Chains A and B, each alone.
Chain A
Amino acid sequence: MSAATLTTAPRTRRNLLRDIRIVLVRELAPVARDPFSVLFGLVQPLVFLGLFGPLLAGSAGEALGGDVWLWFVPAVLAMTTLFGTSVTGSNLQLDISSGVHERMLVTPLSRSAQLVGRALKEMVPIVAQSVVVLLVMLPFGLRPDPLGAALTLAQLAVLGVGVGSLSYALALAVRKQEWMFWMVQQTVLFPVMLLSGMLLPLENGPAWMRAASAVNPLRYVVDSGRAAFAGDVASAAVGWGWLAALATAAVGLAVGVRSMLRSAD
């Protein structure tokens, strides 16, 4: 052991941003080394676009006002975000059962940073997958407003940070009964998805469904994406979408950090 490396005394005051960066870089390293791993998350959106999109065009095309892709592609991007980030807690479950999480808890690394860094990492696959979906759909006639599409990706990235944080919080909450993770995730996922008006318009649903969807943040993000793709970048729908995405991120991070702070015992 050379003494040359013993330069830095243990820090007691932590730089939170530096800690978040350390966690983020470490979490992204496997993705960066194997970029094709993000393609795995594309199977589901492409199936929906290929097998559900034509049905939608045939059965509800006129009700949607012309361009089915402008209506459906933003919803599929939101779906990809929801599915991809709601399962990310299982990565933390792996780290809990393997001992990696415990290793981190014994280091001076800030516990908040351990959650925030992991949550921020979710943005990368969301944006990468969305870009691929958009490129795939261009030859099929998708022509979104470029600024609207870019803003939608950013909004989904923010939403993903929130959903990802909640997924981590769930993994931490059920760390003593791992199977509970999937039960809760599936139980929440499908109602949230269907009550967002992602697959079929909610306007034709019963009043109680419309009422339920009013408290579903995902619904506002989906509506915002549709308005933005159509070029209504400055519309109220986009504003509500941002509010819903930011609120989800704020709540998610708060709940996630709280869970992380209590995750040792």
Chain B
Amino acid sequence: MIRTNALTKDFVVSRTRTVHAVRGISLDIQPGELVAVLGPNGAGKTTTLRMLTTLVPPTSGTATVAGYDVVADPARVRAAIGYVGQGGAGGASQVVRDELVAQGEIYGLDRRAARTRAGELLEALDLTEQADRKVDSLSGGQKRRLDVAVGLVHEPTLLFLDEPSTGLDPHNRANLWEHVLRMRTAAAEPRTIVLTTHYLDEADTFAERVVVVDHGQVIADDTADALKADLAGDLVSLRTPAADVTALAALAERAPGTRAVHAGPPGPDGGRAVEVRTADGPGAAPGLLRAADAAGLTVTRVDVARPTLDDVFLGLTGRSLRETAVQDADSPAASPTDPTTTKEVLA
């Protein structure tokens, strides 16, 4: 459905400065996949999406979307894809229903067919009550559902969503996702969905495949579970009195499956947690406890945590996505290596 080869995009900011927003992205997305492109702001997610949707031409490399080349045949790509951008699709002074009808006409439906289709989408996305209201009177969640409806008017087999849930509260995010997932399977064949997000939990819960992008490159590409198992692993925390910390850490280092061991900060009782990164936490914990017992070491408390995608990102880049996500704009100007933005993140 999508195939890119060494796609790059440079933005010339000034005579002396060029931002390499995307530095060679190669992707192969099959029909029916639900792919989340995850990365901090400024990573190149939006620029990649803008190239795939024919909004900006690539600097180099090729991209075939829905069977057509984005540079040679943008008109066919546009006819085939649906796009929900970061901004709103509905004009503030337009009426909700009119926007859907206009969109249907743009895609070649006659007025009657466009009205029928608008009615179906209003119902499917719970907007029937708002149908005759102006767009600027809608709530944030309603506006976003309208954006999705606008993107689905022509039943595209491939739908792009650029940060669909940014700015929505958790309730509205869940609601939007419910609709997106339902619209995905409502089609005759499952729609291919490609979305960008910097919400880890969103990529984790909904996407079947996660493409992690950083500094304009793909740094990981797999299912969320595989990424977590391969790149982060589970975390077993063994709480122990101060006297036993060194011995327990050494013991954990030797245990099978252990990838890394850290000593946590001292607790109020002076004890510390020995944190063990391991491939299979629940499987490793009993063995660690038995070994500690046999060595005469005390363990007062055990926690087993499954990794998050943030652990994956941390493992890949040494930075936490939660910190990097503080940056506001996914603009090319906000270069990830720009010292001013780094400072803002740290502050």
Contacts and interface: CB of A to CB of B under 8 A. Distances in A.
Interface of A: 1-12, 14, 19, 22, 25-26, 29-30, 33, 94-95, 97-100, 102-109, 264-265
Contacts of B55: 102, 105-106, 264-265
20 contacts: A1-B186, A1-B187, A5-B120, A5-B155, A8-B107, A10-B80, A14-B75, A19-B106, A26-B94, A94-B92, A98-B88, A99-B86, A99-B87, A99-B88, A100-B90, A102-B85, A103-B85, A106-B55, A108-B79, A109-B106
Nearest to A33: B95
B108 interface: yes
Contact of A107 (B86, B94, B106, B120): B106
A5 B116 contact: yes
Given A10-B79, A14-B75, 14 more contacts: A5-B120, A5-B155, A8-B113, A10-B76, A22-B102, A26-B102, A30-B94, A100-B90, A103-B83, A103-B87, A106-B78, A106-B83, A108-B78, A265-B55
B91 interface: yes
Contacts, number: 103
Interface residues of B, number: 44
Given A94-B92, A108-B107, A265-B57, A11 B79 contact: yes
Nearest to A7: B113
A22 B89 contact: no
B89 A100 contact: yes
Contacts of A104: 106
B118 to A, nearest CB: 10
Interface in B82-133: 83, 85-95, 98, 102-103, 105-109, 113, 116-117, 120, 124
Contacts of B79: 10-12, 108
Nearest to B82: A106
A166 B58 CA distance: 29
A100 B120 CA distance: 22
Q: Please give me the 7 A-B residue pairs with the lowest Cβ-Cβ distance, nearest first.
A: A99-B87, A10-B79, A30-B93, A106-B83, A103-B89, A11-B108, A108-B78
A100 B94 CA distance: 11
A98 B94 contact: no
A142 to B, nearest CB: 34
Contact of B120 (A1, A29, A95, A98): A1
Contacts of A6: 155
A8 B110 CA distance: 9
B150 interface: yes
A25 B103 CA distance: 12
A10 B154 contact: yes
A94 B75 CA distance: 25
Contact of B109 (A8, A33, A107): A8
A30 B91 CA distance: 10
B56 interface: yes
Given A29-B95, A107-B103, A264-B55, A5 B87 contact: no
Interface of B: 50, 53-57, 75-76, 78-81, 83, 85-95, 98, 102-103, 105-109, 113, 116-117, 120, 124, 147, 150, 154-155, 186-188
A12 B85 contact: no
A137 B109 CA distance: 46
A103 B124 contact: no
Interface centre among B95, B103, B108, B147 (most CB of A within 10 A): B108
Contacts of A265: 55-57
Contacts of A12: 75-76, 79
A29 B92 CA distance: 12
Given A1-B155, A22-B105, A95 B75 contact: no
A99 B102 contact: no
B116 A98 contact: no
Contact of A5 (B76, B88, B113): B113
A2 B79 CA distance: 20
B78 A107 contact: yes
A39 to B, nearest CB: 16
Contacts of A14: 75
Contacts of B50: 264
B117 A95 contact: no
Contacts of A108: 75, 78-79, 106-107
A10 B154 CA distance: 8
A4 B102 CA distance: 19
Contacts of B88: 98-100
A5 B123 CA distance: 15
Given A1-B186, A106-B78, A108-B79, A98 B98 contact: no
A11 B75 CA distance: 9
